[in-house]
Homo-oligomer: A and B are copies of this chain.
């Protein structure tokens, strides 16, 4: 069976990446692409790398253009997807790549985003360890899915195994991320200019306040954390894509090294898209460029009394569009891996 697909926000980076991946999906057929200011233009005029879509023209984003598809991917600015989704049939599988439906807590929403809270949808990180099982089970049969925040899912996948196994403390976590600017979107801003970022490392949201923090905490609570605290600092570096998250946690006193490592081995054994690397090996972002793969390396720093987890993710794939498609596969009962690349584009 072929599922008909619409992608809104198709002129942006997340929308473009959805389309790149969907082009290779044997069961999905993109019939409609929508945008705002570039509606009416050929898709390829704003996404010139999508050469297999020369036949598509961008339409307005509306209930009319998006309705009537089996799947609708929303890659829209914060605060807009709720209204759009309300007009779509409850039988349509709707996957929101924006933030609107990620947080269960209205208080968190109010504190970090503000405006009306539209409630949480099934969170689209299948491999995420939960106290019982994984997030995958909550995606089966879902018709409303929230794709994750890219930084949030990277850190959550890094730390949740240790939280669930009780080998790391949930207080006093520290994550510092080297991130590419594509996660910040395509709207022109001075601080995202090439002249500003080339040859430079630029921190932002220092000292707390990044919107992915409550999303990380939520995921860690699902894994068993009581009241996790995390110092979270993203640093823009000169690569278009990629997240390299270095996360550290205090090891629970008395835990032996084998038990620590076993937590991650248990969590990701058999997973295709979240792979634990051998001891002493750590990932680079180029290893996962363009791939739906998260690579994780774990080290115990005995002198510092801390566990160090390094995770590499392509923010637009495993961090957003790939997670969305993987979750859609699960929701529809397809083989989870359908149409998704494992191998990175390196060098």
Q: List chain A positions with a Cβ less than 8 A from chain B.
A: 13, 16, 19-20, 23-24, 45, 47-53, 171-174, 176, 178, 180-182, 184, 186, 188-190, 192-204, 206-208, 213, 229-233, 235-242, 244, 246, 248, 250, 275, 277, 281-291, 293, 295, 297, 299-306, 308, 310, 312, 341-347
Instruction: State which of B16, B188, B299, B310 has its C-beta within 8 Å of the C-beta of A190.
Output: B188
Residues of the B chain whose Cβ atoms lie less than 8 Å from the Cβ of A13: 195, 347
Closest CB in chain B relative to A277 CB, distance in Å:
8
Q: Is the Cβ of B345 less than 8 Å from the Cβ of A289? A: yes
Determine the distance from Cα of A262 to Cα of B121 in the docked complex, in whole angstroms.
45
Which residue of B has the minimal Cβ distance to A242? B201
**B239 and A199 within 8 A (CB):** yes
B288 in contact with A49 (CB, 8 Å) = yes
Residues of B within 8 A of A301 (CB): 207-208, 231
For the complex, give the distance between the alpha carbons of A344 and B334 in Å.
26
Does the CB pair B51–A293 fall under 8 Å?
Answer: yes
| Bound: A233/B281 CA distance, A | 14
Contact B201 A178 (CB under 8 A): yes
Cα–Cα, bound, A193→B287 (Å)? 15
Residues of B within 8 A of A347 (CB): 13, 16, 182, 186, 193, 195-196, 198, 200, 240-241
Complex copy number for this chain:
4
A228 nearest in chain B by CB position: B304
Q: When the two chains form their complex, are residues B244 and A235 in contact, meaning their CB atoms are under 8 A apart?
A: yes
Q: Residues of B contacting A204 with CB < 8 Å?
A: 282
Distance to closest chain B CB from A298 (angstroms)? 9
B residues less than 8 Å from A197 (CB atoms): 194, 198
Checking B16, B24, B200, B233 against A285 with a beta-carbon cut-off of 8 angstroms, the contacting residue is: B200
When distances are taken between beta carbons in the complex, the residues of chain B under 8 Å from A289 are 49, 199-200, 345
**Contact partners of A290 in chain B: CB under 8 A:** 290, 345
**Distance between A325 CB and nearest chain B CB, rounded to angstroms:** 14
Which chain B positions have C-beta within 8 A of A201? Answer: 178, 237, 239, 242, 244, 284-285, 312
A154 to chain B, nearest CB (A): 12
Q: Is A198's CB under 8 angstroms from B195's CB?
A: no
CA–CA, A346 to B199, complex, Å?
9
Distance of A324 Cα from B288 Cα, bound (Å): 24
Look across to chain B and name the residue whose beta carbon is closest to the beta carbon of A300.
B207
- Which partner residue on chain B sits nearest A316 by CB separation? B347
Contact A181 to B207, CB < 8 A, known contacts A174-B174, A200-B242, A284-B200 = no
Say how far A68's CB is from chain B's closest CB, in angstroms. 25
Are B342 and A308 neighbours in the complex by a CB distance under 8 Å? Answer: no
- What residue of chain B has the Cβ atom nearest to residue A236's Cβ? B194
Distance between A195 CB and nearest chain B CB, rounded to angstroms: 4
Alpha-carbon distance A299/B239, docked complex (angstroms): 26
